[in-house]
Amino acid sequence: MIQAGITPEDIADKVVRLSRTFRAGNEVSMYDLLADTGYLEHHDRIGEDVIRKRLALAPELISEWLIYSEDKRTRRGWYFRSSPSHGYEVGYFGGTDDQNISMVCTDRFDACAKFVKKELEEMRGQV
């Protein structure tokens, strides 16, 4: 049960701004920012569809997520990048062919929502 007066859309609004919030501040980790959104408790109600709708209201955030993805300095992880021939690519880089995943989306909102959801779920699994 989400706290009275707070909707999945409210949480999604905070979630889609995480990359911007993270880059704007210097002293809070992405994980701590995510925990503050309420997503960890209500993850099952914040699907790609809700995230997509909130992103569509703030399309400028797409570029923030593209930079967030390219800024990762990890061995493995989800990524989101533009693809000159296909539009956008969301994938998982695991280092070996059998671990790698790649999905192509022509719609930037679909692609970004997919990436955000994958990224948040990976972080949720790191509790």
Span 43-82, contacts to another protein by CB under 8 A: 67-77, 79, 81
Q: Compare residues 53 and 77 and give the one whose CB is closer to another protein.
A: 77
- Edge-to-edge strand list for the sheet holding 87-93: 77-83, 87-93, 101-105
24's tokens: 């704007």
**Contact residue for another protein among 9, 31, 40, 87 (CB under 8 A):** 31
* Unique residue bearing structure tokens 């995510």: 34
Distance CA 19, CA 103 (A): 21
Q: Compare residues 6 and 67 and give the one whose CB is closer to another protein.
A: 67
Task: Note whether 122 binds another protein by CB under 8 A.
Answer: yes
Q: Compare residues 29 and 106 and give the one whose CB is closer to another protein.
A: 29
Q: Which residues pair with residue 105 across a beta bridge?
A: 88
Q: What SS3 class is residue 75?
A: coil
The binding site for another protein (CB under 8 A) comprises: 22-23, 25-32, 67-77, 79, 81, 91, 93, 95, 122-123, 126
